[in-house]
Structure 1
Amino acid sequence: MSPSSSSDSAAPIRLGTRGSALALAQSQRVADSIAARTGSPVELVTISTLGDRSTAPLESLGGAGVFVTAVREALLAGECDVVVHSLKDLPTGPHPELRISAIPKRADARDAIVARDGLTLEQLPAGARVGTGSPRRRAQLRRRRDDLEVVDLRGNVDTRIGRVLGSEPTGDREGIEADLDAVVLAVAGLERLGRDDVITEHLGIAGWPTAPGQGALAVETLASVSGPLRSALQGIDHAATRTSVEAERAVLRLLEAGCSAPLGANAFIDGGMLFLAARVYSDAGEQVSAAHALYVDDTRTPGEDAAKRVVDELLELGAADLAPLGGAR
């Protein structure tokens, strides 16, 4: 009998997660929710991924799945019963043996600037060095401030902050010398780590759309999951968040753009309507954008339908001439 269907409420539920401080923090929140709903203890199982081990640019590692494959393999091998991903890291295509059993309520989807001396993006001097590992953020920086030097950046959140603010050696950790003027990071990650105090500017979604699914978590299980674990995950799932991020991810899938593409998409539900906007960039910062809205109750697949409208308009406007998109037609 699998652990997820066991009637022994005392048997621990094993939750697989990457080992970064951020992954552990967000996975612990999910673990606490599962434990509260099932009455069973939940233990974290740390899994190393290629994205964690390599310092190469993410797009050179294959983009979609670089943080996901090893975690999914552990789930399929029975080494854990449930896993947690940052939703924006998940490939958009379904896995035949797995299901996203819960998408908790989304956190702040915005990006933020962390800069020296409390500066905003506009206040940075010409030639300032700004770090990011995201092709989308690189393009947005070049569009907003083409006089900045954009520096490729990898590492965990504390390392990235240290590149701006510096850090003293602690225990077995070496200190970090500040060599950047600013970095661009996700607000949700900073908040989950309790590091949002270093934010010097929140970047508004309307002018700075973020990655599809940013700020949301995906709780994945075997497709056959049943019993108390399945019931607990149904209770954690947030319907409005799921519909919104499904729309954003459908834009990626229909464009065949990949999770490392220079593309931003954001959706939300208000007054029974789903609003979806997306923007595609060139490396130099050129852009095309499209937005559509529909009533959620008017269709069985609101996210998919909204995404089709947005993608059709993006392609008509020349998105395929700006970025490599497999969905061009």
Structure 2
Amino acid sequence: MAYRIGTRGSALATTQTQWVVDAMSTDHTAFEQVIITTQGDVTTGSLANLGGTGVFATALRQAVIDGQVDMAVHSLKDLPAKQPPELRIAAIPERADVRDALCASNGMTLDTLPPGARIGTGSPRRVGQLLALRPDLELVDIRGNVHTRLARVAGYEHHHDNAPSAKGSPKGDLDAVVLACAGLDRLKLQWAITERIDPVQMLPAPGQGSLAVEVSALKALDAPLATALADHEDLGARLEASAERGLLETLEAGCAAPLGGLARYHNGHLTLDAIVTAMDGSSTIRRASSTTIDVEAITEATLEAASALGVEVANMLIADGADLLPAGPARGAR
């Protein structure tokens, strides 16, 4: 049986999708990548102003709904928390490194960056947390694929002379950029990372480091595909995703401030740590909670318990004034 699997066309997206394809392919089940162009791939300007997470997911989701592809592979942090009734997240594989990566000139770290250093990121979440840590930094809004962003770092530009880049994108004009460790690891660009930022300092986006395989509600009943997807599911990653998406969905209803959130599942214990910040880093609210979910298989009840933890932490943040913090141009947890 052959299935069509939709993906964005970036090097990172196709690499991630190929990893899923390789893991699920068997002697009886094969997968073909189909490139889908999303709004985020063709539109210029700030990602936050384009609408945040959904800018990379809508076209892929529509392709699944329309039957153009049988499933789609997303970076989980690109998916809006509200799940369309026509679609199911059928598998969340084992999670990669959840941390943010500093890629800086001369091996610099957050502590050793000089005052006034110019740091590139397209994420309001990263902007707010970086400025809370280092209000002396200059944050520069950037777009483009991973190679284009790395080429903005002084000393890195010649590593990417032959890589695809945004037309007219400058090179070597920044002291550092911040990207996701997971993407750099999957592209075998670990050499560019000068610091894997501890979540104690900077919490990642909800879903960061995780992939999501999304199918239509009808296709979820396809027995060979359901078996392949079930074998690709990671219990801990699914519970962590449910908690983080419960947090995200609750806060999206009434809080536009940049959000970071990280759930961790270990030996039946699920914890969730979350932060919201003002865009200028002047105010932060951070709260955490935990629950016991000792299970060997995913059920609706366990997913609801994980999601309830996300709702609990979100309500703690709102009670402490998260909805009153100055917001960015749009919700953007990336």
Note if contact 1:64-1:90 (Cα within 8 Å) is conserved in structure 2.
yes
Alignment root-mean-square deviation, CA? 2.2
Q: How does 1:27-106 map to 2 (within 5 A)?
A: 27-36=17-26, 39-106=28-95
Match of 1:114 in 2: 103
Of 283, 301, 312, the match for 2:315: 312
Residue of structure 2 in register with 1:4 after alignment: none
CA separation in 1, counterparts of 2:19 and 2:270?
Answer: 28
Q: Work out the CA distance in 2 between the residues paired with 1:170 and 1:310.
A: 45
What is aligned with 1:270?
266
Change (3 A) 1:160 1:88: same
Equivalent position amino acid for 1:230 in 2:
A
Letter paired with 1:180: L
Give the Cα–Cα distance (whole angstroms) in 1 for the partners of residues 161 and 308 of structure 2. 52
Would the alpha carbon gap of residues 322 and 275 (structure 1) be closer, same or farther in structure 2, given more than 3 Å must change?
same
Q: Deviations over 1:35-92 (max 9, x none)?
A: 13x6233111001111011121112112231001111111122211111000001011
The residue type paired with residue 276 of structure 2 is V
The 8 Å contact of residues 252 and 258 in structure 1, kept in 2 or not, is answered as no
- The residue identity in structure 1 corresponding to 2:318 is L
1-structure distance, mates of 2:163, 2:209: 31
Checking the alignment, whether the CA contact within 8 Å between 1:133 and 1:153 is kept in structure 2 is yes
How far the C-alpha of 1:302 sits from its partner, in A, is 2.0
SS of 1:56 mapped into structure 2: coil
Q: Which amino acid aligns with 2:8?
A: R
Separation in 2 of the partners of 1:57 and 1:241? Answer: 30
Partner of 1:187: 181
Residue of structure 2 in register with 1:169 after alignment: 161
Is residue 2:226 matched to residue 1:230? yes
Moved more, 53-62 or 257-266: 257-266
CA drift of 1:260 comes to 8.2
Shift of 1:258: 9.3
Q: 1:22 to 1:259 in 2, by over 3 A?
A: farther
Letter in 1 for 2:235: A
Deviation at 1:120, TM superposition (A): 0.6
Aligned residue type for 1:220: E
Deviations 1:119-178 (A, max 9, x none): 111111111110000001001111111111100011000000000011363388789621
The answer to whether structure 1 residue 282 and structure 2 residue 278 are counterparts is yes
Identity across aligned pairs (percent)?
46
Counterpart-to-counterpart distance in 2, 1:176 and 1:154: 11
Give TM-score, length-normalised by structure 2: 0.89
Instruction: Give the 3 Å change call, closer, same or farther, for CA 60–135 of structure 1 in structure 2.
Output: same
Amino acid in the other structure paired with 2:324: D
| Counterpart Cα distance in 2 of 1:257 and 1:70 | 23
In structure 1, the residue corresponding to 2:120 is in which secondary structure? strand
Instruction: Give the deviation of 1:305 after TM superposition.
Output: 2.0
Q: Which runs of 5+ in 2 are unaligned?
A: 296-300
Contact 1:135 1:283 in 2 (8 A): yes
Q: What SS class does the counterpart of residue 52 from structure 2 fall into? A: coil
- On the 8 A contact 1:15/1:84 being kept in 2, the answer is yes
Instruction: Give per-residue Cα distances to partners, 1:240-293, cap 9 Å, x unaligned.
Output: 111111101111111126998511110111231111111110112110111111
How many equivalent residue pairs? 315
Q: Which residue of 2 aligns with 1:153?
A: 142
Equivalent residues of 2:257, 2:278 under 8 A apart: no
- CA–CA distance in structure 1, aligned partners of residues 181 and 207 of structure 2: 13
SS in 2 for 1:64: helix
In the alignment, the residues of structure 1 paired with residue 322 and residue 254 of structure 2 have an alpha-carbon distance, to the nearest angstrom, of 14
Q: Please point out which of 193, 199, 204 is paired with 1:199.
A: 193
Render the CA deviation track for 1:297-317: whole Å, top value 9, x for unaligned.
Answer: 496422122122212211221
What secondary structure, in the 3-state scheme, does the structure 1 residue paired with 2:69 have?
A: coil
Bigger shift: residues 201-210 or 314-323: 314-323
Rounded Cα–Cα distance in structure 1 between residues aligned with 2:326 and 2:276: 7
Q: Tell me how far apart the structure 1 counterparts of residues 145 and 164 of structure 2 sit (CA, whole Å).
A: 16
The alignment partner of 2:64 has SS state of: helix
Is the Cα contact below 8 Å between 1:65 and 1:91 reproduced in 2?
A: yes
> Which letter maps to 2:173?
D
1:129 paired residue among 114, 118, 131: 118
Q: In structure 2, the residue corresponding to 1:214 is in which secondary structure?
A: coil
Q: Distance in 1 between matches of 2:254 and 2:72?
A: 22
